[in-house]
Amino acid sequence: MVRFLLSLTFISSIVSCSDSPENDSTVFFSGEIVNPTSDYVVLYHKDTFVDSVKLNDKNQFSFQLDTLDDGLYHFDHTPELQYVYLSKGDSLVARLNTVEFDESLVFSGKGSEINNFLIEIFLQNENEEELMKDFYGLDPGAFSQKIDSLYKDKLALLGELNTDGQLSQQALAMAEASVYYNTFITKEKYPFYHKKETGEETIHELGDNFYSYRKKINFNNEALTYLKPYFDFMKWHIGNVSYMTCLDDCSNNKKPVSDRLHFNKHKLAIVDSIVIEKELRNNLFRNIAVDYLKWEHNPDKESITFINEFKSLSTNEEHGKEIDLLYKGIQNLQPNNTIPDIAVLNFNDEKLSLKDLASKKENTVFYFWTAAQKGHFRNISRHIASLEKKHPNYNFIGINLRTSLPQWKQLMSENNLDKEKQFYGEDFKELQMAMIIDGLNKCVITKDTVVVDGFANLYTSL
């Protein structure tokens, strides 16, 4: 039986609040978290804080929401977050274990059908990633057949769930979108991944019907702005169209223009031309700007030109400030600058600055990890051990991110990590912007507190 049809029995105290709702529009969202990594659960709608509640002594939480717009929300239990779809009158109960956050998350109660389906599709798509690597090598027709088969299976699953029409029209549209757009993403990726898999020199001819689904796309769906499959589709589609447009209009001999400023200005222009919905439009502009700056790594005139172009299009002032901070961070990580003076905690809860840590040995490597990425944590621990043997004159400093302080300390003890070389980053956003953390293989190399390489990679730079 599929995962979203499972029924669970929960502690009565979790659901008792829903026995006598104050009115038909009140929403109760409660649950139990096994192995909590934070004291709180925080609820957001779009990018806006809605409410937060503290776990009780049984690791249970409960929200009562008397005024609420139906739609997609997300709840945060640091360092994890996940969707929840809420409608007026729902009495929704969640249960999860942070050791396997997404895999263990199950809902019961009124409103559970749509939420369990969204989680089921999310996990199915994760499991299909390896399968896709084999599919991308197929010719366009065979690839489409494989993808269409998976697509139909998921829609059949949704049909079974909604046999009696218990999903509202809005909830059904959200469920359908989670299927549609994950499928469409694979089609947008195909020409590039196929070229990589096969070693072909040019983009494969796809045929007239390969992108037929594009005719049905709503590029201004406000309700889907924060649905990850929809937003990810928009990013891939804009990148795809930008590349193909540039290939046709700007290149010689069907070779793409390699200038990143040129290409990303294409992306800004395409968003400007097809997206009207304000929030989606601004989020896409922000994504393009962050992606450009994090890959560019150079505070040059081209970056200034791009930032000015971005600001002329985006109407979100907070995004503008974020891009300015990102640019400043890139400037500060250039060679011969002093390492940013950001504070971290040691195992005894004492604050030390990165500059203090870099001064303890002539050569220092700062690297980053999080409890949420267990496989990465295991791999990086082994890799650091080998690097320490290879470079005994270097001091390797681990900075933990997006993990609760108690969980970090527990991991330190369980894995016998060196307390002199491991530190806890309290303010993830500050560290992310100051150290330009764009991936967990990123590291920063210093000598006598001065930056040698602010954009190094643990696996290729040492």
Q: Look at residue 17 and tell me whether its pLDDT is greater than 60.
A: no
pLDDT-derived band at 23 (thresholds 50, 70, 90) equals low
- The answer as to whether 462 is a domain residue is no
The amino acid sitting at 205 is E
Indicate whether 143 and 257 sit together in one domain: yes
Indicate whether 399 and 265 sit together in one domain: no
- The answer as to whether 407 is a domain residue is yes
pLDDT-derived band at 16 (thresholds 50, 70, 90) equals very low
pLDDT at 11: 33
pLDDT-derived band at 257 (thresholds 50, 70, 90) equals low
Indicate whether 173 and 316 sit together in one domain: yes
- The answer as to whether 337 is a domain residue is no
Indicate whether 324 and 408 sit together in one domain: no
Task: Return d(Cα 113, Cα 51) in angstroms, integer.
Answer: 23
Which sign, positive or negative, has the C-alpha torsion 192, 197, 198, 200?
Answer: positive
pLDDT at 256: 66
Each residue's pLDDT tens digit, 47-68: 889 999 999 999 999 999 988 8
Residues in the chain: 462
Each residue's pLDDT tens digit, 79-105: 788 889 999 999 999 999 887 888 889
CATH number of the domain to which 10 belongs: 2.60.40
Which sign, positive or negative, has the C-alpha torsion 231, 92, 49, 65?
Answer: positive
Indicate whether 187 and 244 sit together in one domain: yes
Indicate whether 73 and 148 sit together in one domain: no
- Report percent pLDDT > 70 for the chain: 93
CB contact at 8 A, 106 and 164: no
Identify the domain containing residue 98 by its residue range. Answer: 3-126
**Average pLDDT value for residue range 278-291:** 95
Q: Look at residue 245 and tell me whether its pLDDT is greater than 50.
A: yes
Indicate whether 68 and 90 sit together in one domain: yes
Q: Look at residue 170 and tell me whether its pLDDT is greater than 80.
A: yes
Query: Total structural domains in the chain?
Result: 3
- The answer as to whether 177 is a domain residue is yes
- Report percent pLDDT > 90 for the chain: 63
Indicate whether 390 and 317 sit together in one domain: no
**Average pLDDT value for residue range 7-22:** 40
Indicate whether 302 and 182 sit together in one domain: yes
* 396 or 132: which leads in pLDDT: 396
**Could you say which of 278, 306, 332 is where a domain stops?**
332
Tell me the pLDDT of the chain averaged across its residues. Answer: 88
- The answer as to whether 451 is a domain residue is yes
Task: Return d(Cα 59, Cα 274) in angstroms, integer.
Answer: 46
Each residue's pLDDT tens digit, 295-350: 878 788 888 999 999 999 999 999 999 999 999 999 999 999 999 999 999 999 99
Indicate whether 259 and 320 sit together in one domain: yes
pLDDT at 384: 94
**Could you say which of 82, 98, 126 is where a domain stops?**
126
Each residue's pLDDT tens digit, 430-455: 898 899 998 889 999 999 999 999 99
The model's pTM: 0.85
Q: Look at residue 10 and tell me whether its pLDDT is greater than 50.
A: no
pLDDT at 242: 92
- The answer as to whether 131 is a domain residue is no
- 399: exposed, middle or buried (C-beta count within 10 Å: 0-12, 13-18, 19+)? buried
- The answer as to whether 230 is a domain residue is yes
- The answer as to whether 412 is a domain residue is yes
Indicate whether 223 and 348 sit together in one domain: no
pLDDT at 13: 39
DSSP assigned state of 212: G
**Could you say which of 285, 308, 332 is where a domain stops?**
332
pLDDT at 54: 92
Task: Return d(Cα 8, Cα 388) in angstroms, integer.
Answer: 48
Indicate whether 408 and 434 sit together in one domain: yes
Q: Which residues contact 80 (CB under 8 A, 6 or more apart)?
A: 37, 98, 101, 372
Q: Look at residue 15 and tell me whether its pLDDT is greater than 50.
A: no
pLDDT-derived band at 183 (thresholds 50, 70, 90) equals very high
SS3 content of the chain, % helix, strand, coil (to 5): 50, 20, 30
